[in-house]
């Protein structure tokens, strides 16, 4: 059996390399605002983690009696909006550029899982806010969870929702976001579709035809 440590070293070499994470060159086609959307989504997640840490350290209801905490709650709220806004733009960009091509299917799948996980992550946050929106959505959404056999998730239990929103969901989501970004860095961003009118494609097509 192979040496586990050596196998790990080999596998982790590129994942942990500075060149992977801090590239000083990029493909010429990966320029401009369209190629900032993923980073803007990840940056929004960073803002959410930082504002979330401040909120968690002070308690989920602190916004209701402390002006400064209300401001932090506002940054968390708008951070969520930014996160989903940029994620949706990123989704449109990667869809319309067929970003799964060239062996990048897993990157796409992991990103889709992150999108799915982001929904309950945000939702549990709305539930621990304690306002009308919280109480309504807790009783309204329980029927769907119960129907799917997920009744152990008790949306009206603020303690369970606090744990879900502050620890469980962010960790799981961060794992999938991390995996997604790691795959993007290792595989780079997808190159353009071959354009039949370009000289390169004509040459490639001629070569393939031989």
Site for another protein in 89-128 (CB under 8 A): 93, 95-98, 100-105, 108-109, 112-113, 115-116, 118-119, 122-123, 126
8 or 24: CB nearest another protein:
24
At what angle are helices 105-127 and 169-187 packed, to 10 degrees? 160
Q: Which residues contact 36 (CB under 8 A, 6 or more apart)?
A: none
Range in contact with another protein (rule: CB under 8 A) among 3-11, 165-173, 184-192:
184-192
CB 52 within 8 A of CB 166: yes
Q: How far apart are CA 184 and CA 178, in angstroms?
A: 10
> Does residue 10 touch another protein according to CB under 8 A?
no
Q: Which residues contact 37 (CB under 8 A, 6 or more apart)?
A: 86, 89, 90, 93
- Please state the closest distance from residue 51 (CB atom) to another protein, in A: 8
> Does residue 190 touch another protein according to CB under 8 A?
yes
- Please state the closest distance from residue 101 (CB atom) to another protein, in A: 5
Instruction: Pick the binder of another protein from 75, 89, 172, 175 (CB under 8 A).
Output: 75
- Please state the closest distance from residue 107 (CB atom) to another protein, in A: 9
Instruction: Pick the binder of another protein from 58, 66, 182, 201 (CB under 8 A).
Output: 201
Q: How far apart are CA 190 and CA 104, in angstroms?
A: 8
How many CA atoms are closer than 13 Å to the CA of 156, on its beta-carbon side?
A: 8
- Please state the closest distance from residue 35 (CB atom) to another protein, in A: 9
Looking at residues 37 to 66 of the shown chain, list those that interact with another protein (rule: CB under 8 A). Answer: 39-40, 42-44, 46-47, 51, 63-64
Angle at 39 between CA 55 and CA 193, to 5 degrees: 150
Looking at residues 136 to 155 of the shown chain, list those that interact with another protein (rule: CB under 8 A). Answer: 136-141, 143-144, 146-149, 151-152, 154
> Does residue 178 touch another protein according to CB under 8 A?
no
Output the CA–CA distances (angstroms, integers) from residue 135 to 131, 140, 148, 155, in the order listed.
7, 8, 21, 9
């Amino acid at each position: 059996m192979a040496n586990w440590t050596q196998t790990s070293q080999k596998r982790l070499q590129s994942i942990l390399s500075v060149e992977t994470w801090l590239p000083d060159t990029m493909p010429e086609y990966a320029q401009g605002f369209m190629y900032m959307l993923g980073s803007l989504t990840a940056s929004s997640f960073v803002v959410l983690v930082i504002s979330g840490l401040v909120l968690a350290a002070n308690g989920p209801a602190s916004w209701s009696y402390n002006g400064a905490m209300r401001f932090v709650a506002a940054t968390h709220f708008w951070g969520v909006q930014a996160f989903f806004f940029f994620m949706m733009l990123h989704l449109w960009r990667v869809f319309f550029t067929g970003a799964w091509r060239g062996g990048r299917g897993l990157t796409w799948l992991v990103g889709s899982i992150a999108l799915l996980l982001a929904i309950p992550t945000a939702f549990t946050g709305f539930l621990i806010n304690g306002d009308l929106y919280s109480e309504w959505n807790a009783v309204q959404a329980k029927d769907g969870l119960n129907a799917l056999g997920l009744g152990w998730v008790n949306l009206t239990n603020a303690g369970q929702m606090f744990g879900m929103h502050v620890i469980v969901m962010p960790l799981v989501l961060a794992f999938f976001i991390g995996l997604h970004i790691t795959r993007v860095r290792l595989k780079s961003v997808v190159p353009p579709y071959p354009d039949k009118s370009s000289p390169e494609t004509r040459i490639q097509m001629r070569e393939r035809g031989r």
